[in-house]
Amino acid sequence: MLPHALSFLLTLKSNNLKYFKIIEVYKKKNFWKCKIIINDCLCKFHFKQDHKRLDSRLSFRINDDIYLRKQIIKDGIYVNKILKNKEKIFNIKNPMSDYLSLILKNLNKKNILKKNNSITINLVKIMEELVNY
């Protein structure tokens, strides 16, 4: 999940990685958390795995808003629902499918591919240090 969270953050904030610093990493068998600074953003990631749970859940906080992603299978297809502060529900398509469609539609537009390449390189730099911390 960490690569997805970092990709989301790098895309949201900016694909230019100017600075990152690892403040803390804590590891257990089914639990992992870290605190890092990416550019000017303090990031706290907490990942917990429950082998008994059949569905996939993701929650995150941006400022005072808490988001919960529930992934369900409907007619054999994964459907993602986002709840904002336990109220508003947003249905979203599979991000990987949307991304691949975007790439295929824009193969001749180098700026989209350059942005993805930059995000991927920055993601690898951060992941390598976090995993080996």
Q: Half-sphere exposure of residue 4, counting CA atoms within 13 Å on the CB side? A: 10
Between CA 41 and CA 96 the distance in angstroms is: 25
Q: Let me know whether 41 and 1 are in one domain.
A: yes
Q: Let me know whether 72 and 39 are in one domain.
A: no
State the pTM of this model.
0.57
State the residue range of the domain holding 92: 66-110
- Looking at residue 15, its pLDDT comes to 59
Q: Which one, of 13, 11, 53, lies nearest residue 30 by Cα?
A: 53
Q: Look at strands 88-92 and 56-62 and give their pairing.
A: unpaired
- Looking at residue 93, its pLDDT comes to 64
Q: Let me know whether 74 and 26 are in one domain.
A: no
70 found inside a domain: yes
Tally of domains in the chain:
2
Residue 107 has what DSSP assignment?
T
Q: Let me know whether 8 and 48 are in one domain.
A: yes
Q: Let me know whether 47 and 87 are in one domain.
A: no
Q: Let me know whether 72 and 42 are in one domain.
A: no
Q: Let me know whether 42 and 21 are in one domain.
A: yes
In this predicted model, what pLDDT tens digit does every residue of 75-85 receive, in sequence order?
A: 877 777 778 88
